[in-house]
Structure 1
Amino acid sequence: MASAIATRSPLKLAIIGAGPSALYSASRLLAQLPKDSPQGKDVEVHVYERLPAPHGLVRYGVAPDHPEVKNVQHKFDLLQSDNRFRFFGNVHIGPPPADSSASAERTTTLPLRSLTPHYTHLLLSYGSSLSSSLRNVSGSSGSPKGRLRNVFTALEFVGWYNGHPSSRHIRPDLENVRHVTIIGQGNVALDCARILLKRVDDLKDTDIPDSVLDILKKSSVHTVEVVGRRGAGQVAFTTKEFREMMNLDGCAFEPIEKDVIERAIHDVDQTPTPDARMRKRLLGLIAKGNGPVQPSTSSLKTGTFKLRFLRSPKSFDPSPESPDKIGSITWTKNALLSPPVPPVATTAPNSNPSPSPPHSPDLTSPQQALAMPTAEEITTETDLVIESVGYRSEGLEDVPFDEVKGRIRNMSGRVVDQDGVPIPNVYSSGWVSRGPIGVIASTMYDAYSTMDLLLSDHSLLPLPSPSSSETSTLMPIKTSLGLQTPPLQGLPSQISSAGQSVISYESWKKIEQAELERGLAKGRTGSEKISTVEEMLDVVS
């Protein structure tokens, strides 16, 4: 097989996106085809990213007080030592963006079909950059009539405290906020709660921007309430994230009613799943609570963290004093329907059992328990709302996209058309492929699996005929998205002529060094993130 691959046409891969999935994919492919091997000598991997900075979710999604998760960035730096790898930052793939800001004018825009003829393979790994919305909730971010002030999506709020350029305009008025409601009970919801309730002194040595620290220093937030539409047995946050909240200095957790926990444990026992033990351990931790707050001697700030269950927002209601600002939430109370028990398969005498349908849902999963609205409603006051109800991906021109699921149509990483037929040499990985689920480790395994699939498919491609070994005599084989074998040489003209506005990995390292120097100059032990595209480009111009 090795000698067969060595005689194939070059493998030239374009990756759109530069988050962990994209960079794990690049790392896997190059490791599987070493550059000193016959199979690897004609391999190229080019990564395109719309921002000047790589690392995607690791840089802009992981909370700043989780530096151990961000350490994976150092692994990606090793790619720079392989001359078959190239990074092109500040490049927008697709039609021109609607943004007319100065940073958009300094970004190189490249239509997908201008890119693909230069490559044999395409990997779509650009993550989830849109928020799922509470479209039917008046006053929410997705309301057709517009949102109230002090209502944010988790994407916006996380982008704000992580210094994402798209959130540079967000400045929450935390000085006049006492109560915050977070809708959703995943890890992102707890990240937002922790940042709001944590002592600012414990954040100053992270890479969080000074502009964010200035707002947090003035914060009057005392209570953060994290609300879910289902029960305690269906929370999506992990034990690790919840334990961090329990151990937060100067913060109390309001214990949950005993009958709520007992019902949740009963449901877990009735529908055993592989994660049942973990869920019961988490429920035990939730039941324990942490008692009254013990204020830190190093800070006067105290706060309270609450969990609420079986509530769905019906409307975000304006404040009587400020009609354009959130003042309260009207909730519909829910009843929890236990998940259905799958029927026992029966087989008629002398007949073969019917095969199970592929990818059938696991109906015993606690995630399948349903929240049914009741006629009961309640209203609670609040000063600020964060909608943490999930993310969606954006579609890309000519790429099959599932609008309902908010991700690219694919089967195990192979992009497929509307009829489920694989599009040759086009793959997807990460959140844009399987939805916004999992942690960094699961993203890595998904990326590795997709690249192994690509290599397997590539090994099955027909070999060039012996009489046509000269590349110049071969007619290009084109796919429906414009990929071709052999590919056009070099780079698209828009990239090669863009100059310093296209950021190489070497240029990115200069930006990273500038962030470190900026932090040290302000007395930090590490970096302070640069949060605008203009500033990043100025570093390398």
Structure 2
Amino acid sequence: MSRHLRVAVVGAGPAGIYAADILTKSDRDVSVDILEADPTPFGLIRYGVAPDHPRIKEIVKALHRVMNQPQIRFFGNVSYGNDLKLEDLRQFYDAVIFATGARRDRDLDIAGIDLAGSYGAADFVAWYDGHPEAPRTWDFQPHAEQVAVIGVGNVGLDVARILAKTADELLVTEIPDNVYEGLKSNAAKDIHVFARRGPAQVKFTPMELRELSHSPNIDVIVHPEGFEFDEGSMDALRNSKSQKLTVDVLQNYLAKDETGAAHRIHIHFCNNPVEVLGQDGQVVGLRTEITELDGTGNVRGTGEFKEWPVQAVYRAIGYYSDSLTGLPFDAARGIVPNDGGRVLEIDGSPLPGAYVTGWIKRGPVGLIGHTKSDAAQTISLLLDDADQLAAPESPRPEAVERYLAERGIEFTTWEGWQRLDEHERSLGETHQHTRERVKVVPREDMVRIARISA
């Protein structure tokens, strides 16, 4: 008979929770502890999805059902690398799955990117989503009526939409009070979204694109310059229904007249940002090079440049993962080197009992649903290795709790999250506007509420 497996999952976002779900549904006798640096579960579902996207947040209901399983425990407010390391986890678990995702902005190496008024989208998202490590205020430039967003993925659209909406429009969502007050100082009127390539190469989804026009305060303006297709573009449209739908939505915007709304989102194609322009240390513009499609769906520079008089720049060119203590890291790709999910040492040999899934495994690409198949691949390899894994010295479940308590780590639990969840929902009910919840932001407050009867 196979021995009982104890598995730790580091990261309580969708990737980690899906991995736990697949593992507990396998034929193996297994229990899973999910460790998370935030006091709360759900990762970027809570701290990466725009607050005016309640439909996407519906996935929380499915994740909630997984976390309710008796074989799964949650330890929040536990930081891997600070509170414990791989050698510590090996005392208690047969295997460790890292699902830490990617939360910071990928660098954009152009002149002027560090000027005041130049921001990373991930930092802005963390602020408006109320992450406890984000600043409580956002430095909206008081005269920044013209704003640039670099990047045409869903995060870029989220940033553009939040900048274009009024604070009162977002008051019906779960945004904390400090975010509402901050948004009232946002002066943006025209938000310019720049794509390096053409319309067939954008990364946002049709639903995200359609939602831009749902606000009566926003006109969406697709500019005809660069709205072109080469043979590579046509191949992309023939091979992807979603990409064709996205282009159809763009074409509808292109043909639509402006309504005179107070705020405008402009989408520009074939404009490659090459420099953020500054004066006295402050953003005063963006320089782009006009590009042209080369027949393959890629572009080449034309040597023609254009300057845009913007007063703030947000880069939304992708997320980047942090390296993990005790694991190798591929800095160029922003991932832990792995073979299908098995962590690989620098010499290419497997690191016993260590696995990865999600963005730390394959990079920040794909939608939430892609993490299921990704997790299934990793779990399959772990189960193949199970009988060769070294047994932990202290496999009893209470050993982990004792270890954390002895080190003074105020960890939160699944029951604690349910208390915090109920508290946030009660804040929404008592608000002057009916809201599903109002987020608690300070870490110490979240931990205190979660541990009230601990």
Contact 1:174/1:221, CA 8 A, preserved across alignment: no
Who is 1:503 aligned against? 412
Residue 178 (structure 1) aligned with residue 139 (structure 2) = no
Identity in percent: 29
Amino acid in structure 2 at the alignment position of 1:151: S
User: Equivalents in 1 of 2:215, 2:230: separation in Å?
Assistant: 26
CA contact (8 A) 2:190 2:263 kept: yes
Deviation at 1:374, TM superposition (A): 3.6
Distance 1:30 1:278, change over 3 A: closer
Q: Return the offset for 1:495.
A: 0.9
> Residue 274 of structure 2 corresponds to which residue in structure 1?
314
Whether the 8 Å CA contact 1:228–1:311 is kept in 2: the answer is yes
Q: Give the C-alpha shift of residue 279 in structure 1.
A: 2.7
Partner of residue 288 from structure 1, selected from 228, 236, 252? 252
Give the whole-Å Cα distance in 2 for the aligned partners of 1:126 and 1:267.
35
Aligned residue pairs total: 447
2:435 equivalent to 1:525 = yes
Question: What is residue 239 of structure 2 aligned with on the other side?
Answer: 274
Contact 2:174–2:435 at 8 Å: present in 1 too? no
Q: 379-388 or 304-313: which moved more?
A: 304-313
* 2:281 paired with 1:324: yes
Partner SS, residue 152 of structure 2? coil
Q: What amino acid is the match of 1:521?
A: T
SS at match of 1:254: strand
Residues 333-378 of structure 1: CA deviation (Å, up to 9, x unaligned): 3333333xxxxxxxxxxxxxxxxxxxxxxxxxxxxx4333343222
Query: What's the offset of the Cα at 1:238?
Result: 1.1
Provide the secondary structure at the position in 1 that maps to 2:429: helix
- What CA RMSD, in Å, does the superposition of the two structures yield over aligned residues? 2.3
Contact 1:229 1:311 in 2 (8 A): yes
Q: Verify the 8 A CA contact 1:174 1:215 in the aligned structure 2.
A: no
Larger Rg over CA atoms: 1
Match for residue 294 of structure 2?
337
Q: Which residue of 445, 454, 457 corresponds with 2:385? A: 457
Distance 2:226 2:281 in 1: 36
> 1:391 aligns to what?
319
1:208 aligns with 2:172: no
Alignment partner, residue 412 of structure 1: 340
Question: Which residue does 2:352 correspond to in 1?
Answer: 424
Matching of residue 14 in structure 1 with residue 1 in structure 2? no
2:88: which partner in 1?
114
Task: Name the SS for the 1:118 alignment partner.
Answer: coil
Equivalent residue, structure 2, for 1:73: 60
Please say if residues 231 and 295 of structure 2, whose CA atoms lie closer than 8 Å, have aligned partners that are also in contact. no
> Separation in 1 of the partners of 2:424 and 2:35?
22
Deviation at 1:488, TM superposition (A): 4.4
Distance in 2, matches of 1:407 and 1:424, equals 18
1:260–1:374: structure 2 CA closer, same or farther, 3 Å change rule? closer
Task: Tell me, in whole angstroms, the C-alpha distance in 2 between the residues paired with 1:332 and 1:326.
Answer: 18
Q: Which runs of 5+ in 1 are unaligned?
A: 1-6, 34-38, 97-108, 141-146, 296-300, 340-368, 463-476, 479-483
Counterpart in the other structure of 2:447: 537
- Opposite residue 457 of structure 1, the aligned amino acid is D
Partner of 1:434: 362
Q: Distance in 2 between matches of 1:32 and 1:133?
A: 40
Task: Normalising by structure 1, report the TM-score.
Answer: 0.77
CA distance in 2, matches of 1:379, 1:532: 41
Letter in 2 for 1:449: Q
Change (3 A) 1:152 1:271: closer
Whether 1:157 aligns to 2:124 is yes
Q: Aligned partners of 2:74, 2:363: CA distance in 1, in Å?
A: 25
Provide the C-alpha distance between the structure 1 equivalents of 2:418 and 2:401, rounded to a whole number of angstroms. Answer: 24
Question: Deviations along 1:435-482, whole A, 9 cap, x unmatched?
Answer: 111112112232233223322433xx36xxxxxxxxxxxxxx64xxxx
CA distance in 2, matches of 1:337, 1:128: 32
TM-score (structure 2 length as normaliser): 0.91
Q: Confirm or deny: 8 A CA contact 1:10 1:486 kept in the other structure.
A: no
CA–CA distance in structure 2, aligned partners of residues 158 and 333 of structure 1: 29
Q: Could you report, residue by residue, the CA deviation over 1:83-119 in whole angstroms, capped at 9, with x for unpaired residues?
A: 322111111111x4xxxxxxxxxxxx11221222211
* Cα shift at 1:432: 0.8
Secondary structure of the corresponding residue to residue 67 of structure 1: coil
Residue type at the aligned position of 2:428: G
Which residue in the other structure is 1:221 paired with? 188
Q: 2:102, 2:320 within 8 Å by CA — same for their partners in 1?
A: yes
Name the SS for the 2:79 alignment partner: strand
1:192 aligns with 2:159: yes
Query: Aligned equivalents of 1:314 and 1:452: distance in 2?
Result: 44
Shift of 1:509: 1.5
Q: Which residue of 2 is the match for residue 138 of structure 1?
A: 111
Contact 2:226–2:270 at 8 Å: present in 1 too?
no
| 1:486 Cα offset (Å) | 6.2
- Supply the AA of the counterpart residue of 1:335: E
CA positional deviation for 1:522: 1.8
**Separation in 2, partners of 1:164, 1:192:** 16
Secondary structure of the 2:427 match is helix
2:44 aligned with 1:57: yes
Deviations 1:46-88 (A, max 9, x none): 1111110110010011111111211222223334543322111
Give structure 2 stretches of 5+ with no counterpart.
Answer: none
What is the SS of the residue equivalent to 1:92? Answer: coil
What is the CA deviation profile of residues 236-259 of structure 1, one whole-angstrom value per residue up to 9, with x for unaligned ones? Answer: 1111111111343222222432x7
The change in CA–CA distance for 1:390 and 1:246 in structure 2 (over 3 A counts) is same
SS at match of 1:87: strand
Q: CA deviation at 1:148?
A: 1.6
* AA at the equivalent of 1:417: E
- Partner amino acid, structure 1, of 2:20: A
Partners of 1:281 and 1:525 lie apart in 2 by: 32
C-alpha distance in 1 between matches for 2:428 and 2:235: 53
Deviations 1:166-203 (A, max 9, x none): 22244132653211100011010001111122243432
AA aligned to 1:209 is P
Q: Are the counterparts in 2 of residues 223 and 305 from structure 1 also a CA contact under 8 Å?
A: yes
1:381 is aligned to 2:309 = yes
The CA deviation at 1:499 is 5.9
Corresponding residue for residue 344 of structure 1: none
